[in-house]
């Protein structure tokens, strides 16, 4: 299942409205097929893995990060039926599909056809891997990551507005990799007009991965953070600033994940990372975030926090 989860990461941010699923077919202790949801959402991971395995699917065990779909769609057959037709013997599933069109029906079809089904293997890891799809299903909006790049004292620019560079090349490269894993990037109108950010992916061989660029503006399509619910084909949204836009998303409880890049510098007077997030007392600030990852990027440090 770890291998299937790793495969599912390949297209994180490029499969909406479909989940990014990973699938591994194992027969006689050997991997005979690997698949992951393709960009745009089709083919599904199971279809890809079955195609690779061919005749070796017969009697194999399928490890898949999400319950195989049980419904036929205009865009393709139901994966549960494909697995049955291919003669797969066992299916190990990380997470049930909350999509009401499947939601247990995939499992029912498999069991009805005599396959052995094992559920809830590495379920938490699968939830994390498919957070975009699940947030869309459960909350009706994209999974939102807020990126901040600050000094040790929480500044994002000098009083003059100078902000190049706070973090070093390794941290900036990592931030570009994160862009490639999101369907869209959003900035506030002021940041858009003043900083004129390119918001592209400047990494070798990933130049084509630039996500949709969105601007929050009182005069545009997105006037409030909550308007992101209406974004079609966006299950992963990266909010990159500025301070007021970031604060707006936090104020409305719309940030699921915080990427905090920190340079080992002090700035003192300057621009703060966040505007008013609507906090009225300190106890209310506690217990909202937990550190889930930390790494060194050149001389900078990245901390990743998840919303509780």
Binding site for a copy of itself (CB under 8 A): 148, 150-155, 158, 162-166, 247, 250-251, 258, 260, 263-270, 272-282, 285-286, 288-291, 301, 303, 305
Question: Which H/E stretch holds residue 146?
Answer: strand 143-150
Per the listing, tokens 């060194």 go with: 296
Residue number with CB closer to a copy of itself (2 or 294): 294
Least distance from a copy of itself to the Cβ atom of residue 252, Å: 13
Angstrom distance (rounded) from CA 271 to CA 246: 13
Residue number with CB closer to a copy of itself (111 or 290): 290
Least distance from a copy of itself to the Cβ atom of residue 156, Å: 10
Residue number with CB closer to a copy of itself (113 or 285): 285
- Neighbouring residues of 248: CB distance < 8 A, sequence distance ≥ 6: 188, 216, 224, 225, 275
DSSP one-letter code for 42: -
Angstrom distance (rounded) from CA 50 to CA 124: 25
DSSP one-letter code for 284: G
Angstrom distance (rounded) from CA 213 to CA 194: 16
Angstrom distance (rounded) from CA 83 to CA 96: 16
Phi, psi of 281 (to 5 degrees): -150, 155
Q: Which residues are catalytic?
A: 46
Least distance from a copy of itself to the Cβ atom of residue 162, Å: 6
Q: How far is the CA of 70 from the CAs of 66, 85, 96, 124, 211, in angstroms? A: 12, 13, 11, 22, 31
Farthest CA pair distance, the chain: 69
Residue number with CB closer to a copy of itself (160 or 218): 160
Residue number with CB closer to a copy of itself (206 or 289): 289
Least distance from a copy of itself to the Cβ atom of residue 282, Å: 6
Least distance from a copy of itself to the Cβ atom of residue 222, Å: 21
């Amino acid at each position: 299942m770890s291998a299937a989860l790793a495969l599912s990461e390949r297209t994180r941010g490029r499969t909406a409205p479909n989940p990014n699923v990973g699938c591994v077919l194992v027969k006689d202790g050997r991997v005979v097929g690997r698949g992951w949801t393709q960009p745009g959402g089709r083919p599904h991971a199971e279809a890809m893995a079955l195609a690779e395995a061919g005749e070796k699917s017969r009697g194999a065990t399928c490890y898949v990060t999400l319950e195989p779909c049980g419904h036929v769609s205009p865009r393709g057959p139901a994966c549960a039926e494909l697995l049955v037709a291919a003669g797969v013997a066992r299916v190990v599933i990380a997470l049930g599909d909350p999509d009401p069109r499947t939601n247990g029906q995939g499992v029912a079809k498999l069991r009805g056809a005599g396959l052995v089904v094992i559920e809830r293997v590495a379920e938490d890891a699968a939830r994390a891997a498919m957070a975009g799809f699940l947030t869309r299903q459960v909350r009706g909006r994209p999974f939102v990551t807020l990126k901040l790049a600050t000094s040790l004292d929480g500044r994002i620019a000098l009083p003059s507005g100078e902000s190049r560079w706070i973090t070093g090349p390794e941290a900036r490269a990592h931030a570009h990799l994160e862009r490639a894993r999101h369907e869209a990037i959003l900035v506030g109108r002021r940041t858009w007009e003043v900083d004129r950010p390119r918001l592209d992916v400047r990494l070798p061989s990933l130049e084509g991965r630039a996500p949709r660029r969105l601007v929050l503006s009182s005069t545009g399509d997105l006037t409030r953070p909550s308007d992101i619910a209406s974004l079609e084909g966006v299950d992963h949204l990266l909010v990159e600033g500025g301070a007021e836009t970031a604060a707006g998303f936090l104020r409305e409880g719309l940030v699921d994940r915080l990427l905090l890049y920190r340079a080992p510098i002090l700035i003192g007077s300057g621009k703060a990372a966040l505007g008013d997030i609507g906090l009225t007392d300190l106890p209310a600030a506690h217990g909202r975030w937990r550190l889930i990852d930390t790494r060194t990027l050149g001389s900078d440090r990245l901390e990743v926090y998840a919303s509780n």
